[in-house]
Amino acid sequence: MRVALVSTVLPINQVLHGNCVEIMQTLPDNSVDLIFADPPYNLQLGGELHRPDNSRVDAVDNDWDQIGGFDEYDLFTCGWLEEARRVLKEDGALWTIGSYHNIFRVGTFLQDMGFWVLNDVIWRKSNPMPNFKGTRFTNAHETLIWAAKHKTSKVTFNYAAMKSLNDGVQMRSDWTLPICSGGERLKAGDGRKAHPTQKPESLLHRVLLSTTHPGQIVLDPFFGTGTTGAVARKLGRKFIGIEADADYVTLARQRIEAISPGDASALQVTASKRSLPRIPFGNVVEAGLIKPGDTLFCAQGRRTARVRADGSVTGGGETGSIHQVGAAVQGAPSCNGWTFWHIRRNGTLMPIDVLRSRIRAEMEEA
């Protein structure tokens, strides 16, 4: 048995040729930010599944063998998932994709291992292959699972960017995207499709844009012809690809080589407000934008509070922060004082958040 040598230098932006479990064994613990895994679906095993002794798993087509088939598939799934989990950073997350042939099993093992499911996401194919025999519903979707390494992991989620990508409404758990075809579909030398299940770049675009920051490292243990790497390069993310098939490795390397990496300025996305620097309300008073003794109003002008020199306010018999008093006067469990309270300027009410924005802008100029 081969002894894995753990490297200290990550093979960034490389396509590694070999068995994904063995190669992941050479990577250190807690080292990648995201994993995207598109494992074999246990449909056409295509020689990609092997038993621990390296004998090939034969295709099976009766009930008894089918259950045996699940056993083999389950072993295979646990194998790569365990290594993937070890390599993943504590605040990292994993995406995997599959169909009803395999996704229930992958999802169950994920949960049993302690991964924390954040969403299951449906890729609705706008142009799926029909069911030619008319015996079932058109199999028009695949299922992705987005899961954190732990329940407590602080994963990356670019909420505002997703909302922006969806014309200003919250992105849903079902994504309608066309399958990979046309010029995007890689062809082999004989003009036929190079890979049977090449994923569309639009799918990876959404995965990487939503759950990574530029510069973060994405590991794809079933790299195929390198869609993950191609999109990572376009979006300024780093990747590590692992692929067992030598032809695919060659194709993927050529494909990624030909892509000009996205420049940083074009990769700016809508930032979430949570990531902006925190401004205490006292700074607004200190800056003279509001004076001690000034009155704050709610949007309707019916509730009021009085500003004090230290940035606390008094209203409804309470004294405290703008948030605490805002919550108190409404009898609400919480309140964002920045948007709740207003000041009167030129006869109209203006949210005090405008003043915070002014201070933030001044900080930018410095």
Partner DNA sequence: TACTTCATTGAATCCTTAC
Partner DNA sequence: TGTAAGGATTCAATGAAGT
Per-residue x/- track, 122-151, DNA (CB under 7 A): ----xxxxxxxxxxx-xx--x---------
For a copy of itself, the closer CB: 11 or 128: 128
Residue 249 touching DNA (CB under 7 A): no
3-state secondary structure of 263: coil
Please report whether residue 58 would count as binding DNA according to CB under 7 A. Answer: yes
Question: Looking at 151, 192, 196, 347, which residue binds a copy of itself (CB under 8 A)?
Answer: 151
Distance CA 229, CA 279 (A): 39
Stretch that binds DNA, among 7-15, 35-43, 81-89, 211-219 (CB under 7 A): 35-43
With respect to DNA, which residue has the nearer C-beta, 3 or 361?
361
Taking phi over 0 as left and psi of -120 to 50 as alpha, with beta for the rest, 236 belongs to left
Hey, which residues between 284 and 303 contact DNA (CB under 7 A)? none
With b for 16 or more beta-carbon neighbours within 10 A and e for fewer, the 34-44 pattern comes to bbbbbbbbbee
Residue 58 contact partner, candidates a copy of itself, DNA, none, CB within 5 to 8 A by sort of partner: DNA
Per-residue mark of binding to a copy of itself, 192-231 (x: CB under 8 A)? ---------xx--xx--xx---------------------
Show Cβ contacts of residue 276 under 8 Å, excluding neighbours closer than 6 positions.
Answer: 360
User: Least distance to DNA from the beta carbon of 362, Å?
Assistant: 16
**Which of 227, 243, 248 has its CA nearest to residue 17?**
243
CB of 118 to DNA, least distance (A): 7
DSSP state of 92: E
Q: Token pair for residue 55?
A: 């004998």
Binding of DNA by 47 (CB under 7 A): yes
Q: Is the Cβ of residue 10 or residue 165 nearer to DNA in the bound state?
A: 165
What is the rounded CA–CA span in Å between residue 297 and residue 280?
19
Q: Classify 333 in phi/psi space as left (phi over 0), alpha (psi -120 to 50) or beta.
A: alpha
Strands 342-345 and 348-351: antiparallel
Stretch that binds a copy of itself, among 27-35, 87-95, 105-113, 347-355 (CB under 8 A): 105-113
Of positions 12, 75, 117, 287, contacts DNA by CB under 7 A: 117
Partner touching 45 among a copy of itself, DNA, none, CB below 5 to 8 Å by kind: DNA
Write down the least CB distance from residue 100 to a copy of itself, Å: 4
- Size of the chain, expressed as the number of residues it contains: 366
In the complex, minimum distance from the CB of residue 363 to a copy of itself, in angstroms, rounded to a whole number: 4
- Between CA 156 and CA 148 the distance in angstroms is 10
Residue 96 phi/psi, 5-degree rounding, is -140, 155
d(CA 40, CA 101): 10
Q: Which is nearer to a copy of itself, 145 or 252 (CB)?
A: 145
The footprint of a copy of itself on residues 11-30 (CB under 8 A) is none
Decide whether 5 or 277 has the Cβ nearer to DNA: 277
81-89, 221-229, 249-257, 306-314 -> range binding a copy of itself (CB under 8 A): 306-314
Q: How far is the CB of 22 from a copy of itself (least distance, A)?
A: 27
Residue 11 in the binding site for DNA (CB under 7 A): no
The letter for the amino acid at 301 is: G
For residue 109, with 0-12 CB atoms within 10 Å meaning exposed, 13-18 middle and 19 or more buried, which class applies? middle
Binds 177: which of a copy of itself, DNA, none (CB < 5-8 Å by kind): a copy of itself
Q: Which of residues 186-225 bind DNA (CB under 7 A)?
A: 192-193, 196-198
Q: Which does 338 bind (CB under 5 to 8 A by kind): a copy of itself, DNA, none?
A: DNA
Strands 238-243 and 217-220: parallel
Q: How far apart are CA 232 and CA 226, in angstroms?
A: 10
Q: Which helix (H) or strand (E) holds 123?
A: strand 116-125
